[in-house]
Amino acid sequence: MGGRVERIKLGSQGLEVSAQGLGCMGMSAAYGPPKPDGDMISLIHHAIHTGVTFLDTSDIYGPFTNEILLGKALKGGVREKVELATKFGARADGKMEVRGDPGYVRAACEASLKRLNIDCIDLYYQHRVDTRVPIEVTIGELKKLVEEGKVKYIGLSEASASTIRRAHAVHPITAVQLEWSLWSRDVEEEIIPTCRELGIGIVAYSPLGRGFFSSGSKILENLTDGDFRKMGEVEVGTYFSIMSLMTRKWGDFALSLSMFLPKFQGGFAHALWSEVLLFGVQWVMPNSEYNCLSSFRLEELIGELFFKCLEYGTSMSYVLLPRFQPENLEHNKTIFEHVNEVAARKGCTPSQLALAWVHHQGKDVCPIPGTTKIENFNQNIGALSVKLTPEEMVELESFAAEGVVKGDRYTKEFATWKNSETPPFSSWKAT
Protein backbone atom coordinates (compact mmCIF):
# COMPACT_ATOMS: atom_id res chain seq x y z
CA MET A 1 0.00 0.00 0.00
CA GLY A 2 2.98 2.31 0.47
CA GLY A 3 3.32 5.18 -1.94
CA ARG A 4 -0.37 5.48 -2.90
CA VAL A 5 -0.53 9.11 -1.84
CA GLU A 6 1.29 11.68 -3.94
CA ARG A 7 3.67 14.26 -2.50
CA ILE A 8 3.27 18.04 -2.70
CA LYS A 9 5.39 21.06 -1.91
CA LEU A 10 3.96 22.89 1.08
CA GLY A 11 4.97 26.51 0.79
CA SER A 12 8.11 27.73 -0.93
CA GLN A 13 10.73 26.98 1.75
CA GLY A 14 11.39 23.35 0.83
CA LEU A 15 8.92 21.36 2.93
CA GLU A 16 7.45 18.37 1.10
CA VAL A 17 4.50 16.47 2.58
CA SER A 18 1.89 13.90 1.61
CA ALA A 19 -1.01 15.43 -0.33
CA GLN A 20 -3.28 14.52 2.58
CA GLY A 21 -2.30 14.62 6.22
CA LEU A 22 -3.61 13.01 9.39
CA GLY A 23 -5.07 15.17 12.14
CA CYS A 24 -4.37 13.42 15.43
CA MET A 25 -6.35 15.54 17.93
CA GLY A 26 -9.33 13.19 18.19
CA MET A 27 -7.11 10.31 19.27
CA SER A 28 -6.55 11.98 22.63
CA ALA A 29 -9.00 14.84 23.07
CA ALA A 30 -12.15 16.76 22.17
CA TYR A 31 -14.17 13.93 20.61
CA GLY A 32 -14.95 11.92 23.72
CA PRO A 33 -12.62 9.86 25.93
CA PRO A 34 -9.05 9.24 24.72
CA LYS A 35 -8.69 6.16 22.56
CA PRO A 36 -6.34 3.26 23.49
CA ASP A 37 -2.72 4.04 22.66
CA GLY A 38 -2.17 0.70 20.97
CA ASP A 39 -5.07 1.20 18.57
CA MET A 40 -3.99 4.73 17.72
CA ILE A 41 -0.37 3.74 17.15
CA SER A 42 -1.57 1.02 14.77
CA LEU A 43 -3.64 3.62 12.92
CA ILE A 44 -0.68 6.00 12.66
CA HIS A 45 1.57 3.23 11.35
CA HIS A 46 -1.12 2.22 8.85
CA ALA A 47 -1.35 5.81 7.63
CA ILE A 48 2.41 6.05 7.15
CA HIS A 49 2.48 2.73 5.27
CA THR A 50 -0.27 4.06 3.01
CA GLY A 51 1.78 7.15 2.24
CA VAL A 52 0.15 9.66 4.59
CA THR A 53 3.24 10.95 6.35
CA PHE A 54 2.16 14.46 7.36
CA LEU A 55 1.06 14.18 11.01
CA ASP A 56 -0.58 17.04 12.90
CA THR A 57 -0.72 17.48 16.67
CA SER A 58 -0.55 20.24 19.31
CA ASP A 59 0.50 20.64 22.91
CA ILE A 60 -3.09 21.47 23.87
CA TYR A 61 -4.50 18.17 22.60
CA GLY A 62 -5.09 16.14 25.73
CA PRO A 63 -3.55 18.42 26.85
CA PHE A 64 -0.05 17.11 26.13
CA THR A 65 -1.05 13.45 25.84
CA ASN A 66 -1.42 13.57 22.05
CA GLU A 67 2.19 14.64 21.65
CA ILE A 68 3.24 11.84 24.00
CA LEU A 69 1.24 9.38 21.88
CA LEU A 70 3.00 10.58 18.72
CA GLY A 71 6.33 10.23 20.49
CA LYS A 72 5.55 6.56 21.16
CA ALA A 73 4.35 5.96 17.60
CA LEU A 74 7.52 7.41 16.06
CA LYS A 75 9.97 5.13 17.85
CA GLY A 76 11.98 2.45 16.07
CA GLY A 77 12.97 4.45 13.01
CA VAL A 78 9.47 5.68 12.20
CA ARG A 79 10.39 9.31 12.91
CA GLU A 80 12.50 9.50 9.76
CA LYS A 81 9.47 8.58 7.61
CA VAL A 82 7.19 11.46 8.60
CA GLU A 83 6.74 15.21 8.51
CA LEU A 84 5.67 16.18 12.01
CA ALA A 85 3.74 19.35 12.80
CA THR A 86 2.83 20.56 16.26
CA LYS A 87 1.63 23.82 17.75
CA PHE A 88 1.96 26.10 20.77
CA GLY A 89 0.21 29.16 22.12
CA ALA A 90 -3.19 28.01 23.36
CA ARG A 91 -2.55 27.49 27.05
CA ALA A 92 -4.27 24.60 28.78
CA ASP A 93 -4.75 26.44 32.05
CA GLY A 94 -8.52 26.67 32.18
CA LYS A 95 -8.65 30.23 30.87
CA MET A 96 -7.81 29.27 27.27
CA GLU A 97 -5.33 32.13 27.33
CA VAL A 98 -3.11 32.57 24.29
CA ARG A 99 0.62 33.17 24.78
CA GLY A 100 3.18 34.36 22.24
CA ASP A 101 5.82 36.04 24.38
CA PRO A 102 9.41 34.86 23.78
CA GLY A 103 9.87 33.05 27.08
CA TYR A 104 6.71 31.06 26.62
CA VAL A 105 7.49 30.23 22.98
CA ARG A 106 10.85 28.76 23.95
CA ALA A 107 9.49 26.87 26.96
CA ALA A 108 6.64 25.42 24.90
CA CYS A 109 9.03 24.26 22.18
CA GLU A 110 11.37 22.59 24.65
CA ALA A 111 8.43 20.83 26.32
CA SER A 112 7.04 19.59 22.98
CA LEU A 113 10.44 18.26 21.90
CA LYS A 114 10.63 16.30 25.14
CA ARG A 115 7.11 14.87 24.88
CA LEU A 116 7.59 13.95 21.22
CA ASN A 117 11.03 12.52 22.01
CA ILE A 118 12.61 14.26 19.02
CA ASP A 119 15.41 16.75 18.42
CA CYS A 120 13.67 18.95 15.86
CA ILE A 121 10.07 19.83 14.94
CA ASP A 122 9.46 19.84 11.19
CA LEU A 123 6.67 22.43 11.20
CA TYR A 124 5.95 24.50 14.31
CA TYR A 125 2.76 26.58 14.30
CA GLN A 126 1.60 29.32 16.57
CA HIS A 127 -1.78 27.72 17.32
CA ARG A 128 -3.56 30.99 18.01
CA VAL A 129 -2.26 34.55 17.83
CA ASP A 130 -1.47 36.37 21.09
CA THR A 131 -3.08 39.76 20.53
CA ARG A 132 -1.05 41.34 23.35
CA VAL A 133 2.32 40.59 21.75
CA PRO A 134 3.44 42.02 18.39
CA ILE A 135 3.60 39.15 15.92
CA GLU A 136 7.15 40.25 15.06
CA VAL A 137 8.23 39.38 18.61
CA THR A 138 6.73 35.89 18.49
CA ILE A 139 8.16 35.12 15.06
CA GLY A 140 11.50 36.55 16.13
CA GLU A 141 11.77 33.91 18.85
CA LEU A 142 10.67 31.19 16.44
CA LYS A 143 13.38 32.36 14.06
CA LYS A 144 15.94 31.79 16.82
CA LEU A 145 14.62 28.26 17.32
CA VAL A 146 15.09 27.62 13.59
CA GLU A 147 18.65 28.91 13.78
CA GLU A 148 19.30 26.62 16.76
CA GLY A 149 18.06 23.58 14.83
CA LYS A 150 15.05 22.94 17.06
CA VAL A 151 12.50 23.86 14.38
CA LYS A 152 12.74 23.48 10.60
CA TYR A 153 9.76 25.48 9.35
CA ILE A 154 7.43 28.05 10.91
CA GLY A 155 3.64 28.14 10.56
CA LEU A 156 0.65 30.14 11.76
CA SER A 157 -2.88 29.03 12.56
CA GLU A 158 -6.03 31.16 12.47
CA ALA A 159 -4.10 34.32 11.55
CA SER A 160 -5.46 37.27 9.59
CA ALA A 161 -3.98 38.39 6.28
CA SER A 162 -2.26 41.41 7.83
CA THR A 163 -0.80 39.28 10.64
CA ILE A 164 0.51 36.80 8.07
CA ARG A 165 2.21 39.60 6.13
CA ARG A 166 3.88 41.02 9.23
CA ALA A 167 5.06 37.59 10.33
CA HIS A 168 6.38 36.68 6.89
CA ALA A 169 8.48 39.87 6.85
CA VAL A 170 10.41 38.64 9.91
CA HIS A 171 10.95 35.05 8.76
CA PRO A 172 9.38 33.13 5.86
CA ILE A 173 6.16 31.43 6.88
CA THR A 174 5.89 27.95 5.36
CA ALA A 175 2.24 27.17 6.06
CA VAL A 176 -0.94 28.67 7.47
CA GLN A 177 -3.51 26.34 9.02
CA LEU A 178 -7.14 27.36 8.65
CA GLU A 179 -10.55 25.78 8.85
CA TRP A 180 -11.57 25.34 5.22
CA SER A 181 -14.41 23.17 4.03
CA LEU A 182 -17.61 23.36 2.03
CA TRP A 183 -19.35 25.07 4.94
CA SER A 184 -16.39 27.18 6.18
CA ARG A 185 -15.27 29.39 3.32
CA ASP A 186 -14.76 32.85 4.81
CA VAL A 187 -10.98 32.49 4.44
CA GLU A 188 -11.28 32.63 0.65
CA GLU A 189 -11.78 36.38 0.40
CA GLU A 190 -8.48 37.63 1.79
CA ILE A 191 -6.39 35.01 3.60
CA ILE A 192 -6.05 32.43 0.82
CA PRO A 193 -5.01 35.06 -1.77
CA THR A 194 -2.46 36.47 0.69
CA CYS A 195 -0.93 33.04 1.28
CA ARG A 196 -0.67 32.42 -2.45
CA GLU A 197 0.87 35.83 -3.09
CA LEU A 198 3.57 35.12 -0.48
CA GLY A 199 4.18 31.50 -1.48
CA ILE A 200 2.75 30.09 1.76
CA GLY A 201 1.18 26.64 1.86
CA ILE A 202 -2.35 26.14 3.15
CA VAL A 203 -3.28 23.39 5.59
CA ALA A 204 -7.03 22.84 5.85
CA TYR A 205 -8.22 21.55 9.21
CA SER A 206 -11.72 20.16 9.77
CA PRO A 207 -12.18 19.64 6.00
CA LEU A 208 -15.15 17.39 6.77
CA GLY A 209 -16.88 19.97 8.95
CA ARG A 210 -15.95 18.12 12.16
CA GLY A 211 -17.84 15.09 10.91
CA PHE A 212 -20.89 16.91 9.56
CA PHE A 213 -20.21 15.74 6.01
CA SER A 214 -20.15 12.14 7.20
CA SER A 215 -23.61 11.99 8.75
CA GLY A 216 -25.27 15.40 8.63
CA SER A 217 -27.65 16.39 11.42
CA LYS A 218 -27.65 12.82 12.75
CA ILE A 219 -24.15 13.38 14.05
CA LEU A 220 -25.43 14.35 17.52
CA GLU A 221 -27.02 10.92 17.96
CA ASN A 222 -23.65 9.19 18.25
CA LEU A 223 -21.62 11.70 20.27
CA THR A 224 -20.21 10.50 23.58
CA ASP A 225 -19.81 12.45 26.80
CA GLY A 226 -16.79 14.72 26.61
CA ASP A 227 -17.26 15.45 22.91
CA PHE A 228 -16.88 19.20 22.51
CA ARG A 229 -19.44 19.28 19.70
CA LYS A 230 -22.01 18.26 22.32
CA MET A 231 -21.37 21.00 24.88
CA GLY A 232 -24.53 22.74 25.99
CA GLU A 233 -25.11 26.38 26.81
CA VAL A 234 -24.08 25.99 30.45
CA GLU A 235 -22.59 22.99 32.22
CA VAL A 236 -21.77 23.89 35.81
CA GLY A 237 -20.24 21.33 38.11
CA THR A 238 -20.66 21.32 41.85
CA TYR A 239 -18.00 22.08 44.39
CA PHE A 240 -17.92 18.43 45.39
CA SER A 241 -17.47 17.11 41.86
CA ILE A 242 -14.47 19.37 41.34
CA MET A 243 -12.99 18.30 44.66
CA SER A 244 -13.56 14.66 43.77
CA LEU A 245 -11.51 15.06 40.61
CA MET A 246 -8.77 16.89 42.51
CA THR A 247 -8.62 14.13 45.10
CA ARG A 248 -8.46 11.50 42.39
CA LYS A 249 -5.57 13.37 40.78
CA TRP A 250 -3.50 14.40 43.80
CA GLY A 251 -4.72 12.36 46.75
CA ASP A 252 -6.43 13.29 50.00
CA PHE A 253 -4.23 16.32 50.62
CA ALA A 254 -6.00 18.00 47.69
CA LEU A 255 -8.81 18.71 50.13
CA SER A 256 -6.62 21.35 51.71
CA LEU A 257 -6.72 23.24 48.41
CA SER A 258 -10.47 23.78 48.66
CA MET A 259 -10.06 27.17 50.32
CA PHE A 260 -8.51 28.48 47.11
CA LEU A 261 -11.41 27.57 44.84
CA PRO A 262 -13.77 30.53 44.35
CA LYS A 263 -17.40 29.52 44.58
CA PHE A 264 -19.99 31.08 42.31
CA GLN A 265 -23.60 29.97 42.67
CA GLY A 266 -22.54 26.45 43.59
CA GLY A 267 -20.14 26.11 40.68
CA PHE A 268 -16.89 27.53 39.41
CA ALA A 269 -15.89 30.22 36.97
CA HIS A 270 -13.24 28.35 35.03
CA ALA A 271 -11.47 31.58 34.07
CA LEU A 272 -10.58 32.08 37.72
CA TRP A 273 -10.28 28.82 39.55
CA SER A 274 -7.21 27.49 37.74
CA GLU A 275 -5.21 30.56 38.71
CA VAL A 276 -6.05 30.37 42.39
CA LEU A 277 -5.58 26.62 42.36
CA LEU A 278 -2.08 27.15 41.01
CA PHE A 279 -1.35 29.37 43.98
CA GLY A 280 -2.85 26.75 46.27
CA VAL A 281 -0.63 23.98 44.89
CA GLN A 282 2.46 26.09 45.46
CA TRP A 283 1.37 27.01 48.99
CA VAL A 284 0.26 23.57 50.19
CA MET A 285 3.06 21.56 48.63
CA PRO A 286 6.24 23.63 49.10
CA ASN A 287 8.44 20.54 48.98
CA SER A 288 6.55 18.56 46.39
CA GLU A 289 7.75 17.48 42.99
CA TYR A 290 5.31 19.93 41.42
CA ASN A 291 6.69 22.97 43.18
CA CYS A 292 10.27 21.92 42.42
CA LEU A 293 9.47 22.01 38.73
CA SER A 294 9.10 25.15 36.67
CA SER A 295 5.99 27.28 36.68
CA PHE A 296 5.47 26.05 33.11
CA ARG A 297 5.05 22.50 34.43
CA LEU A 298 2.60 23.76 37.04
CA GLU A 299 0.52 25.37 34.31
CA GLU A 300 0.51 22.03 32.49
CA LEU A 301 -0.71 20.31 35.64
CA ILE A 302 -3.54 22.76 36.19
CA GLY A 303 -4.50 22.50 32.54
CA GLU A 304 -4.59 18.73 32.73
CA LEU A 305 -6.98 18.85 35.67
CA PHE A 306 -9.18 21.45 34.00
CA PHE A 307 -9.60 19.45 30.82
CA LYS A 308 -10.41 16.35 32.85
CA CYS A 309 -13.20 18.39 34.42
CA LEU A 310 -14.52 19.21 30.97
CA GLU A 311 -14.27 15.56 29.97
CA TYR A 312 -16.41 14.47 32.90
CA GLY A 313 -18.85 17.37 32.57
CA THR A 314 -17.91 18.87 35.92
CA SER A 315 -16.81 22.34 34.92
CA MET A 316 -18.49 25.44 33.63
CA SER A 317 -18.43 25.72 29.86
CA TYR A 318 -20.28 27.43 27.06
CA VAL A 319 -21.30 26.68 23.50
CA LEU A 320 -17.93 26.31 21.84
CA LEU A 321 -19.29 25.29 18.42
CA PRO A 322 -22.62 27.05 17.77
CA ARG A 323 -22.96 25.32 14.41
CA PHE A 324 -23.46 22.03 16.26
CA GLN A 325 -26.38 23.16 18.37
CA PRO A 326 -29.44 21.05 17.46
CA GLU A 327 -31.48 23.89 15.96
CA ASN A 328 -28.59 24.92 13.70
CA LEU A 329 -27.87 21.36 12.59
CA GLU A 330 -31.54 20.92 11.77
CA HIS A 331 -31.38 24.00 9.55
CA ASN A 332 -28.10 22.91 7.93
CA LYS A 333 -29.18 19.35 7.19
CA THR A 334 -30.30 20.35 3.69
CA ILE A 335 -26.64 21.09 2.87
CA PHE A 336 -25.72 17.51 3.71
CA GLU A 337 -28.71 16.15 1.80
CA HIS A 338 -27.64 17.99 -1.37
CA VAL A 339 -24.03 16.81 -1.00
CA ASN A 340 -25.28 13.27 -0.43
CA GLU A 341 -27.28 13.41 -3.68
CA VAL A 342 -24.22 14.45 -5.68
CA ALA A 343 -22.12 11.79 -3.94
CA ALA A 344 -24.59 9.10 -4.97
CA ARG A 345 -24.35 10.35 -8.52
CA LYS A 346 -20.54 10.22 -8.37
CA GLY A 347 -20.39 6.80 -6.74
CA CYS A 348 -18.63 8.00 -3.60
CA THR A 349 -19.54 8.86 -0.02
CA PRO A 350 -20.55 12.41 0.99
CA SER A 351 -17.42 12.71 3.12
CA GLN A 352 -15.23 11.71 0.17
CA LEU A 353 -16.98 14.28 -1.98
CA ALA A 354 -16.52 17.06 0.59
CA LEU A 355 -12.87 16.15 1.01
CA ALA A 356 -12.35 16.00 -2.75
CA TRP A 357 -13.70 19.55 -2.97
CA VAL A 358 -10.88 20.71 -0.68
CA HIS A 359 -8.28 18.80 -2.70
CA HIS A 360 -9.51 20.52 -5.86
CA GLN A 361 -8.69 23.94 -4.41
CA GLY A 362 -5.09 23.55 -5.59
CA LYS A 363 -1.80 21.73 -5.16
CA ASP A 364 -0.80 24.22 -2.45
CA VAL A 365 -3.57 22.93 -0.15
CA CYS A 366 -3.18 19.97 2.18
CA PRO A 367 -6.27 18.85 4.13
CA ILE A 368 -5.68 17.03 7.42
CA PRO A 369 -8.85 15.07 8.22
CA GLY A 370 -8.76 13.31 11.56
CA THR A 371 -10.07 9.90 12.47
CA THR A 372 -9.63 7.16 15.06
CA LYS A 373 -10.63 4.25 12.82
CA ILE A 374 -8.64 2.60 10.05
CA GLU A 375 -11.76 2.04 7.92
CA ASN A 376 -12.57 5.76 8.04
CA PHE A 377 -8.97 6.60 7.23
CA ASN A 378 -9.11 4.37 4.16
CA GLN A 379 -12.33 6.06 3.09
CA ASN A 380 -10.67 9.47 3.41
CA ILE A 381 -7.80 8.32 1.21
CA GLY A 382 -10.40 7.35 -1.38
CA ALA A 383 -11.24 11.04 -1.76
CA LEU A 384 -7.98 11.48 -3.67
CA SER A 385 -9.48 9.46 -6.51
CA VAL A 386 -12.68 11.51 -6.78
CA LYS A 387 -12.49 13.89 -9.74
CA LEU A 388 -14.73 16.94 -9.96
CA THR A 389 -15.56 19.05 -12.99
CA PRO A 390 -15.71 22.86 -12.73
CA GLU A 391 -19.49 22.60 -12.99
CA GLU A 392 -19.62 20.14 -10.09
CA MET A 393 -17.43 22.43 -7.98
CA VAL A 394 -19.84 25.31 -8.58
CA GLU A 395 -22.81 23.08 -7.78
CA LEU A 396 -21.31 21.97 -4.47
CA GLU A 397 -20.43 25.52 -3.50
CA SER A 398 -23.98 26.68 -4.14
CA PHE A 399 -25.27 24.35 -1.43
CA ALA A 400 -23.37 26.22 1.30
CA ALA A 401 -23.20 29.72 -0.14
CA GLU A 402 -22.85 32.74 2.11
CA GLY A 403 -25.94 33.14 4.26
CA VAL A 404 -27.04 29.52 3.88
CA VAL A 405 -25.05 28.00 6.76
CA LYS A 406 -26.55 28.73 10.17
CA GLY A 407 -24.32 29.05 13.25
CA ASP A 408 -20.79 30.39 13.67
CA ARG A 409 -17.71 28.16 13.61
CA TYR A 410 -16.83 29.09 17.19
CA THR A 411 -18.33 31.12 19.98
CA LYS A 412 -17.26 34.76 19.85
CA GLU A 413 -15.00 34.36 22.90
CA PHE A 414 -12.77 31.88 21.07
CA ALA A 415 -9.64 33.13 19.28
CA THR A 416 -9.82 32.96 15.47
CA TRP A 417 -8.30 34.88 12.56
CA LYS A 418 -11.08 37.43 12.89
CA ASN A 419 -9.65 38.69 16.19
CA SER A 420 -5.94 38.07 15.62
CA GLU A 421 -4.51 41.56 15.10
CA THR A 422 -1.50 42.34 17.30
CA PRO A 423 0.01 45.63 18.55
CA PRO A 424 2.69 47.35 16.45
CA PHE A 425 6.24 46.16 16.97
CA SER A 426 7.24 49.62 18.21
CA SER A 427 4.99 49.17 21.25
CA TRP A 428 6.89 46.15 22.57
CA LYS A 429 8.95 46.46 25.72
CA ALA A 430 10.78 43.29 26.69
CA THR A 431 10.57 42.32 30.35
Catalytically annotated residues: 61
Q: What phi, psi does 397 have (nearest 5°)? A: -65, -30
User: Residue 192 class from Cβ within 10 Å (0-12 exposed, 13-18 middle, 19+ buried)?
Assistant: buried
Query: What amino acid is encoded at 405 in this protein?
Result: V
CA atoms of 7 and 217, how far apart (whole Å): 34
Three-class SS state of 95: coil
Closest CA to 376 of 33, 50, 28, 14: 50
Closest CA to 14 of 111, 124, 152: 152
* DSSP code string of 399-413: HT-TTTS-S-SS-TT
- Helices 295-311 and 102-116: angle between axes, nearest 10 degrees: 70
Q: What phi, psi does 388 have (nearest 5°)? A: -120, 140
Three-class SS state of 37: helix
SS (H, E, C) 357-388: HHHCCCCCEEECCECCCHHHHHHHHHHHHCCC
CA torsion angle for 84, 90, 94, 97 (degrees, to 10)? 170
**Where would I find the H helices in 54-210?**
65-73, 102-116, 135-147, 161-170, 191-198
In sequence order, what are the residues at sequence separation of 6 or more whose Cβ sits closer than 8 angstroms to the Cβ of residue 341? none
Beta carbons within 10 angstroms of residue 163's beta carbon = 25
The tally of CA atoms less than 13 A away on the side-chain side of residue 57 is 28
User: Residue 36 class from Cβ within 10 Å (0-12 exposed, 13-18 middle, 19+ buried)?
Assistant: exposed
Closest CA to 86 of 147, 415, 229, 105: 105
